[in-house]
Amino acid sequence: MYRSHNCGELTSTDINKEVTLAGWVQKIRDKGFIVWVDLRDRYGITQLVFDEERTSKTLIEQAQNLGREFVVQVKGTVIERASKNPNIPTGDIELLVSELNILNEAKLPPFTIEDKTDGGEDIRMKYRYLDIRRNPVKNSLIFRHKVTQEVRNYLSKEGFIEVETPYLIKSTPEGARDFVVPSRMNEGQFYALPQSPQTFKQLLMVGGMDKYFQIVKCFRDEDLRADRQPEFTQIDCEMAFIEQEDILNAFEGLTRHLLKEINGIEVEKFPRMLYDDAMRLYGNDKPDIRFGMEFGELNAVAQHKDFKVFNSAELVVGIAVPGGNSYTRKEIDKLIDWVKRPQIGALGMVYCRCNDDGSFKSSVDKFYDQDDLAKWAEATGAKPGDLICVLSGDKNKVRTQLSALRMELAERLGLRKPDEFAPLWVMDFPLLEWDDETNRYHAMHHPFTAPKPEQIELLKTDPGAVKANAYDLVLNGNEIGGGSIRIHDKETQALMFDYLGFTPEEAKAQFGFLMDAFQYGAPPHGGLAFGLDRLVAILGGQETIRDFIAFPKNNAGRDVMIDAPAPIDDEQLNELSLKLNLKQ
């Protein structure tokens, strides 16, 4: 055997044992007459000692010639450590080495393999196999494993069956661009990689599987950001013979289980909020409710004076920043600059100080008196010592802008605590949303989402007002899961395709297999998909997902380690009957 023990398990109970260890050289401290080496593997670090009083000169010279990240095997005796290290499990002992075998030499790494490394993100992604040796990344991947095991165990106990669905499927419009795969055997034809297993899980319900889940890779060719990757993992679930309440209860249970088992936190309440209220109070459909700063709409109390900026706005809206009256003018000016950045796009910001004596001082005192400003405070819930920040403009834009400001302020104020968890259901999304570019409606979620049963007739007269039988599960301001009750009859599905601009022929070509299946007794069904990468990151107290993915892509969708995507040669192109038409 290469090792009898790992580098994280030896303790004082093992003193005087003869053991064999193997791992990577973390650090070397050479005093000439004595050499200490930290040996590391996945499980921890054990200190090795080469002492001229007890070790041969040849062995000490071997140790002195070791380099960082050399792979070695050592044999020796466990002894009590003279200078103990209480920060590691093996800190009471060290290994007096009697035999050293170099299994593989190593080049000097391009960054230090330490918890706090000197390597930037780009270089660490290029050498990801080295980055994984670092505790933060290693522990994140182990943490992900723990979460997925808990998910599998919980769902299996609840009667769900894990079923694999294909990766090579047909291209279907589901909101994002597909990654396509040419077929050599079917000239001129293409597979697509699934954006989700949506139609397959519905077919499994038609097939009578009743409760399905799958931890599955999905693919979307879309613009990236910190919490998004071109390939990502879903916990995909579907249930038959259920109503919306059954779905919510089932996945509240899973979320509650994960929070308890992974984080040791009991969460009983899963509040529910209508989509319209989420947009009105927080400006987005995934609000972080760990803190307040709800929006206060000010049209009624701000558009009666001669301030043209407010009078011409579709919406005037503000938030109260707790303790914000302590901000200096310079700090407030920086906030104004922040909202005027291109990423936010506001033209400016009005503010109002709520003084401790109950008076107010605003940047628009020329137009508003104390009574007016008191009404602003009432509408936003501001108290003495707070600061009211006000934006105005187009309703949808200004809500998005103020939502971004709310989150930025919460970050600065330390209100987004990673060890606090506040789940929330957001309900009753619009079924359809209008797209000015294509001049037609698109499904807000996907074409198989059922409308509220009582609103089906509205599709004929006011399709934009129809609500979907859809729900998102939000945790700490992040959407961690979303789903809906599905359409399960051919007539309603055909009607939905019609309102999405599909001709009967197009619907048949794209989704004929699903429409055909519905004719053979499709049960009422619905489901939900969790974003596993994001869920794991939030449970791990982080916002970004990269460290919880073994080999992530960068913001351009590239794997810089293997240099992909990459061109293919002319022979492969010819074999696939492809010709490139690249823009110059």
> What pLDDT digit, counting tens, does each position of 65-92 carry?
999 999 999 999 999 999 999 999 999 9
Report phi then psi at 494, rounded to 5.
Answer: -65, -40
Report field, pTM of the whole predicted structure over 0.95: no
One-letter amino acid of 487: I
Longest C-alpha distance within the chain, in Å? 93
Q: Is 531 annotated as a binding residue?
A: yes
Our CA angle for 137, 138, 141, nearest 5°, is 85
Residue pair 448/199 in contact (Cβ under 8 Å)? The answer is: yes
The CA distance from 149 to 169, in Å, is 28
The CA distance from 289 to 424, in Å, is 8
Residue pair 360/374 in contact (Cβ under 8 Å)? The answer is: yes
Three-state secondary structure along 418-466? CCCCCEEEEECCECEEEECCCCEEEECCCCCECECHHHCCHHHHCHHHC
Residue 462: pLDDT band (50, 70, 90) is: confident
Measured in residues, the chain has a length of: 584
Q: What is the C-alpha R_g of the chain? A: 30
The CA distance from 29 to 7, in Å, is 18
In terms of Cα–Cα distance, which of 196, 200, 202 is closest to 165?
Answer: 200
Q: What is the pLDDT of residue 569?
A: 92
Assigned token pair, 158: 């609840």
Q: Is 131 annotated as a binding residue?
A: no
Q: Is 436 annotated as a binding residue?
A: no
As a whole number, the mean pLDDT across the chain is 94
Check whether 302 has a pLDDT greater than 90: yes
Check whether 357 has a pLDDT greater than 60: yes
Residue 584: pLDDT band (50, 70, 90) is: low
How far is C-alpha 538 from the chain's CA centre? Answer: 7
The CA distance from 199 to 513, in Å, is 9
In terms of Cα–Cα distance, which of 423, 481, 473 is closest to 289?
Answer: 423
pLDDT tens per residue across span 390-400: 999 999 999 99
Q: Is 534 annotated as a binding residue?
A: yes
One-letter amino acid of 61: E
Q: Is 174 annotated as a binding residue?
A: yes
The number of beta carbons lying within 10 Å of the beta carbon of residue 171 is: 17
Which positions ≥6 away from 6 have C-beta within 8 Å?
A: 21, 41, 42, 43, 44
Q: Is 229 annotated as a binding residue?
A: yes
Task: Pick the most confident of 218-232, 250-264, 458-472.
Answer: 250-264
Assigned token pair, 128: 């990801």
Check whether 132 has a pLDDT greater than 70: yes
Cα first-last separation, the chain: 59
pLDDT tens per residue across span 158-192: 999 999 999 999 987 656 789 999 999 999 899 99
Our CA angle for 173, 178, 179, nearest 5°, is 160
Check whether 440 has a pLDDT greater than 90: no
Q: Is 184 annotated as a binding residue?
A: no
Q: Is 372 annotated as a binding residue?
A: no
The CA distance from 254 to 260, in Å, is 10
Q: Is 514 annotated as a binding residue?
A: no
Strands 478-485 and 525-531: antiparallel
> CB-based burial of residue 450 (10 Å sphere; 0-12 exposed, 13-18 middle, 19+ buried)?
buried
Q: Is 458 annotated as a binding residue?
A: no
State which H helix or E strand residue 406 sits in: helix 395-412
- Of 218-222, 233-237, 265-269, 433-437, give the lowest mean pLDDT range: 433-437
The CA distance from 112 to 278, in Å, is 45
The CA distance from 199 to 221, in Å, is 19
Give the percent of the chain with pLDDT over 90.
82
How far is C-alpha 174 from the chain's CA centre? Answer: 20
Residue pair 421/375 in contact (Cβ under 8 Å)? The answer is: no
